[in-house]
Structure 1
Amino acid sequence: MARFILSVILIWFLNACSQAQTGNNMKALMTKLFITDGYNKEVRPSLNQSEPLRVDLDLFLVAVNGIDEVGQKLITTGFVDIYWKDEYLQWAPATYGDLSTIYVSQDKIWKPDISLQNGFKKLDELGNGFIKVIIEKDGMLRWSPFEIFETKCDINIEKFPFDEQTCDIIFVVWSYSISEVKISKGLKGINFYNFKGNGEWKVVSTSATVDSSAETRVKFSLTVRRIPTFYLINVIAPIVLLAVLNIFTFALPVDCGEKMSYSITVFLSFAVFLSIVSSTLPKTAGSILEFYLMFQLGMGTIVVIVTAVELRLHFRSKPVPKWLQVVFTLSFIKYMRSKKNVGCSDNNTQNDSATMNGEVIKKERTHADSIELTWPDIIARVDMILFWVLLVAVIIMTLIIYLLLTN
């Protein structure tokens, strides 16, 4: 009995060894496919040459390297999974030790001349000679060329740094017509397996479409959004703070002697800051943020000019013109009237207050008419008006720019 079991095991082992894949099986299969059968890589691998050969494409995106605003270019890294059936590369696995898959250099077989249609580099074939093509027993092939894709893209920086860009990566069969080779997108479209994120750009959506109107091509669309945190902290926030400091020039009295030096210091700080951050800003025109920077630079220029004029007038020996005294006197009376009308409760109190306010206003007008305003008085009131006007203008402009950038 033991001798019988041993014999069965030995027969099974010898049979398994005879069916194992060996180097001779591989040599025999390669000889059959490429020598005996006379495989020619110049012949489109379809038994019926009147029917188009279908080729499926899947894009595996590995990384978004960056966007060049000046060059209008998207730079990505990835590889394309390309599938098609070669009817001249089929065999029976049982004849070759159950060998069902082989790897062949891409230069040894026919492959579709797929190229990047909207690329920046010169037209060249995908992949390299060391890349292998996987061939299955039924003739299905898988080719995965790895590339750094530099594609043309219309970059719109109007809403920088809150902008979104939609770019296309278009693959086309260059030589064959649509009646000979027809490419289509695979089931996966754009795949993010092994994808590495970018510190400046975030992928928000993708799509894949097939255009077979004039020529067969597959368009992979990629929508990326800029991450604005760096620019908010290092560009926009310092600009707003410098704008506030610029306005506080009018909070300083002229007699302190530091008003002019303060305004020039803030202006120079703004100019130096712009020269430092200019390398981080897009080198193309059209951004709303550029107009905001010009607005703030213009505000700084106006503040320096007004400060210089105020200093000139403050130490002027000539008396203030009558019309200017009237303007500032009337504004002062209206201001006092608004202060006196606050806090009325009932009708009697309102009547009494109105009578008292009338008398007070008359006394104030008579007192104001009897007092002659000097240039320091005029400059002090101008400072107060400009401080609040410019503060409101900066706040409103900043809110408008923020809404335009984020919507």
Structure 2
Amino acid sequence: MEVFDVNFFLTSFIVLQGQCSGGTFTEYNNLYNTALTGYNKDGRPLQDQNHVMIVVLDFSLLTIADLDDASSKLVTVGLFTILWRDEVITWNQSLYENTKELHIDESLVWKPSMALINTMSINVGLLGFKQSKIEYSSDGVAFWHIADRYQTTCDFDTTYFPFDKQTCELKIVAWDYTIQGLFIYPLKPTVDLTYFSENGAWELVSTETRSEYLAYYSVVVFSLNLKRRPLYFVIYRLIPVFTMLFLNTLVFILPSDSGERVGYAINCLLALAVFLTLVSEGLPGDSEPMPVIGYVLTVYLIISAIICVLTIFILRLHHKEENKEIPPSFRKMYNILTCATCKKRSRTVEAYLSTTDSENVEENDKHKKSSVLPLTWKKLSSRLDFICFISSLSSVITVGVVYFVIVMS
């Protein structure tokens, strides 16, 4: 196999960009006819057929037209530049009045047949058009531009949606010859972004190119490392969900006798359910992997439903008849919620007090016990309102914080 000389192709690339054809039309026509006389487009244009044809690819990305995670589709607009050396089409410039270049229709000459492996089109994604031209220099360097709109597949990992990062690739294979006859290389280690236009939904973080093998065929891969722009989803999806959950927790602050608590809680639940239906349309449709945000929204819906259940339960306790005895289990729960046991433990300091001080403490305790109001259903429901408000608000904040920690780590 021949040694690959990138510098040669890169120098030829620069020279071809800056030169003009020169000469007269007559000499250009004579050169054109001479070059194609006896030319066989079905054979590799190498004088020694034992050598390997070296082809170099460069990709200039113009824009990312679409990136659809639901259909795993990447649509790009770009320009492929393909270079090789044709040892048959060469000439002495001085014999043709300094004619430096030829432009020949691609259907008339040999060219490397290459295709996109991961194309989404029904047919094989062949590169090139019948009407495109190939530019030749006098030393045989061929210069071929192929501009098109390319639809390729992209394997998405939406676990951390909408803060996810994706790597999409364009894979080019030379399928007419094995690596014994033709080998393709990337011209540069990165994709050319000179004329790139930014996409509103995705940020292009970096690019890279590499050579691979597919069985006995040569492959060049152009990788695009992309990062989703999450601001739209955060403003129009996440913030409204957090706001609705916060408003839902405020149901425990409403007075129990207002008669609006159950209606308020159910309205918040319905509003959240309807909004989550709209939000789900913007989420990736794949179940593997399942986006973390899907679990978060489900947990929030469950929290909202639990708030409705707790509201109904507390109102039922609040409106019980006052002459009805409170069960011991509710009294024990109330003592736990009010930290009554903690207060009893604090009285163990009596052992360290003097006898006179101990007697005063006992008298004060008796006075306090006599002045403490008995436990009622309204006091119990009021304490439950406070605890449920703190618990539900803490749950909403905790779930949100855990989500952002996971996706931002």
Q: Give distance in 2, aligned partners of 1:274 and 1:213.
A: 45
**Which position in structure 2 is the counterpart of 1:261?**
263
Residue 114 of structure 2 contacts residue 174 of structure 2 at CA under 8 Å; is this kept in 1? yes
Greater gyration radius: 1
Q: Give distance in 1, aligned partners of 2:144 and 2:48.
A: 23
**Which position in structure 2 is the counterpart of 1:187?**
188
Letter in structure 2 aligned against 1:77: V
2:327 to 321, 327, 335: 321
Q: CA deviation at 1:238?
A: 1.1
Q: How does 1:30-179 map to 2 (within 5 A)?
A: 30-35=32-37, 38-121=38-121, 122-179=123-180
Letter in structure 2 aligned against 1:157: T
**Which position in structure 2 is the counterpart of 1:403?**
405
Residue 249 of structure 1 contacts residue 262 of structure 1 at CA under 8 Å; is this kept in 2? yes
Q: Give distance in 2, aligned partners of 1:350 and 1:228.
A: 67
Q: CA deviation at 1:96?
A: 1.3
> What is the RMSD of the two structures over their aligned residues, measured on CA atoms?
2.8
Taking a change above 3 Å as real, the CA distance of residues 163 and 28 of structure 1, as seen in their structure-2 partners, is same
Moved more, 227-236 or 185-194: 185-194
State the Cα deviation string for residues 188-246 of structure 1 (Å, max 9, x = none): 63100211100010011111111247421111111100011111111111111111111
Residue 115 of structure 1 contacts residue 125 of structure 1 at CA under 8 Å; is this kept in 2? yes
Structure 1-normalised TM-score?
A: 0.86
**Which position in structure 2 is the counterpart of 1:344?**
none
Q: CA deviation at 1:355?
A: 8.1
Q: CA deviation at 1:45?
A: 0.6
Q: CA deviation at 1:74?
A: 2.0
Structure 1: stretches of 5+ with no match in the other structure: 1-19, 342-347
**Which position in structure 1 is the counterpart of 2:12?**
none
Q: Give distance in 1, aligned partners of 2:237 and 2:78.
A: 33
Taking a change above 3 Å as real, the CA distance of residues 236 and 62 of structure 1, as seen in their structure-2 partners, is same
Residue 66 of structure 1 contacts residue 201 of structure 1 at CA under 8 Å; is this kept in 2? no
* Number of residue equivalences: 380
State the Cα deviation string for residues 70-125 of structure 1 (Å, max 9, x = none): 22222211111100011111011111111111211111111001111122222142
Q: CA deviation at 1:401?
A: 0.6
Moved more, 293-302 or 72-81: 72-81
2:311 to 307, 325, 333: 307
Structure 2: stretches of 5+ with no match in the other structure: 1-21
Secondary structure at 2:188 match in 1: strand
State the Cα deviation string for residues 307-352 of structure 1 (Å, max 9, x = none): 12222232223432133224314643638949x99xxxxxx99999
Moved more, 356-365 or 376-385: 356-365
Secondary structure at 1:380 match in 2: helix
Moved more, 239-248 or 323-332: 323-332
1:393 to 392, 395, 404: 395
Structure 2-normalised TM-score?
A: 0.86
**Which position in structure 2 is the counterpart of 1:197?**
198
Letter in structure 1 aligned against 2:111: K
**Which position in structure 2 is the counterpart of 1:288?**
292
Secondary structure at 1:275 match in 2: helix
Taking a change above 3 Å as real, the CA distance of residues 103 and 351 of structure 1, as seen in their structure-2 partners, is farther
Letter in structure 2 aligned against 1:32: T
Is residue 2:24 matched to residue 1:22? yes
Q: How does 1:231-270 map to 2 (within 5 A)?
A: 231-270=233-272
Moved more, 22-31 or 186-195: 186-195
**Which position in structure 2 is the counterpart of 1:332?**
338
